[in-house]
Amino acid sequence: MLFGKGQIASITAEIPASAKILVTYGGGSIKTNGVYDQVMSAVAGRQVMEFGGIEPNPRLETLMKAVELVRNEGIDFLLAVGGGSVIDGTKFIAAAVPFTGDPWDILAKTAPVKDALPLGVVLTIPATGSEMNTFSVVTKWETKDKLAFSSPLVYPRFSVLDPETTFSLPQKQIANGIVDAFTHVMEQYLTYPAHAPLQDRMAESILKTLIEIGPKTLADPKDYDARAIFMWCATMALNGLIGVGVPQDWSTHDIGHELTALHGLDHAQTLAIVLPSTMSVRRSSKWQKLLQYAERVWGIVDGTEEERVNEAIASTRNFFESVGVRTRLSDYGIGRETIPIIVERLEKRRQVALGEQQDVNPQVVEEILQLCG
């Protein structure tokens, strides 16, 4: 992790001198905010090609063009410059290039990744944690399937986190990043007690810091310290640290991915919609952790257990709303007719036993989505 202002320059020493590099990026905002220039200056004199246009929720169809380019040009190092979508897309490219057969099988059939190109990251959107983990989520546009894979071979060789690269981001992306990081923690934390008090406290540390710093970094985008703290929270939220040895949920993500695939919602918007309802519907199996979350994260100690749980769920929803991410399907013009479609899609893909206790069956998914209305 190369953290701090000006750190993009240090990638020069991190990429082998003889490497043939492909710089990957998204919609091109890096060309207007100076990041592109900093990157190109750091790899000046190297063999460099570029591949732009990786979309949010990166599409298989787009990424396969990059795979072809890499194969044809003999590129042997990938440098992802962007947010989670660019990084996830680049991880897929890295694994797909040496893959024999249809690379979509890596996600659709969990075909093992046996080899991958090395990749580095220059992070410009704090949110997904992809800069410090082995995960990647890709969407097959043709069938609207949004699926994930994981492999240690696509773990970034280095990641640059320069808070200044985020100063020019739209507020919406920061707000989304706050919700994304917060929900990543919740998926690993809000389950059931598992003799892991240190992981619990570290998860609570991230949540409390996000609650404290989120509004601050939204209010003043050029507050370097606030942006740096937020950036580090987002990375720590999903780099494996708080999830070691504990049960994990991830059903909010599984359901949310369907909303993105079907309706084009931002990833974080889907989480803001699904998480509060998940907490509400599945409260009995998460009871102890909900009470702990209420007390330690929100300082809720008065009232009956039920009142505290309700207040904690309401606080979560209010927090998402307060940073500007709406939490109802209706806020996005989505009606209840989507519910049976989502349930059917999950069933078709045999995603019928979600959550930390594999008890989030189609009926529970429906109940959760009904509450999201």
Which chain residues interact with a copy of itself by CB under 8 A? 1, 3-4, 195-198, 201-202, 204-206, 208-209, 212-213, 225, 228-229, 232-233, 236, 241, 244-245
Short-list 298, 286, 274, CA closest to 365: 274
Q: Count other Cβ atoms within 10 Å, centred on residue 204.
A: 18
- The CB-of-120 to a copy of itself minimum distance in angstroms stands at 17
Pick between residue 123 and residue 343 the one whose CB is nearest to a copy of itself: 123
- The CB-of-223 to a copy of itself minimum distance in angstroms stands at 10
Pick between residue 122 and residue 236 the one whose CB is nearest to a copy of itself: 236
Q: What is the 3-state secondary structure (H, E, C) of the chain?
A: CEECCCHHHHHHHCCCCCCEEEEECCCCHHHCCCHHHHHHHHCCCCEEEEECCCCCCCEHHHHHHHHHHHHHHCCCEEEEEECHHHHHHHHHHHHHCCCCCCCCHHHHCCCCCCCCCCEEEEECCCCCCHHHCCEEEEEECCCCEEEEEECHHHCCCCEEECHHHHCCCCHHHHHHHHHHHHHHHHHHHCCCCCCCHHHHHHHHHHHHHHHHHHHHHHHCCCCHHHHHHHHHHHHHHCCCCCCCCCCCCCHHHHHHHHHHHHHCCCHHHHHHHHHHHHHHHCCCCCHHHHHHHHHHHHCCCCCCHHHHHHHHHHHHHHHHHHCCCCCCHHHHCCCCCHHHHHHHHHHHCCCCCECCCCCECHHHHHHHHHHCC
Pick between residue 233 and residue 274 the one whose CB is nearest to a copy of itself: 233
- The CB-of-226 to a copy of itself minimum distance in angstroms stands at 8
Pick between residue 37 and residue 212 the one whose CB is nearest to a copy of itself: 212
- The CB-of-166 to a copy of itself minimum distance in angstroms stands at 16
Burial of 101 (0-12, 13-18, 19+ CB in 10 A): exposed
- The CB-of-212 to a copy of itself minimum distance in angstroms stands at 7
- The CB-of-221 to a copy of itself minimum distance in angstroms stands at 16
Pick between residue 115 and residue 212 the one whose CB is nearest to a copy of itself: 212
Short-list 149, 151, 229, 238, CA closest to 188: 238
- The CB-of-319 to a copy of itself minimum distance in angstroms stands at 17
- The CB-of-313 to a copy of itself minimum distance in angstroms stands at 23
- The CB-of-197 to a copy of itself minimum distance in angstroms stands at 5
Pick between residue 135 and residue 230 the one whose CB is nearest to a copy of itself: 230
* Cα distances (angstroms) measured from residue 92 to each of 153, 200, 275, 300, 317: 11, 32, 27, 43, 33
Pick between residue 144 and residue 216 the one whose CB is nearest to a copy of itself: 216
| Radius of gyration of the CA atoms of the chain, in A | 20
Pick between residue 236 and residue 342 the one whose CB is nearest to a copy of itself: 236
Pick between residue 209 and residue 361 the one whose CB is nearest to a copy of itself: 209
Pick between residue 140 and residue 208 the one whose CB is nearest to a copy of itself: 208
- The CB-of-205 to a copy of itself minimum distance in angstroms stands at 3
Rounded to the nearest angstrom, the gap between the alpha carbon of residue 133 and the centroid of all alpha carbons in its chain is 10
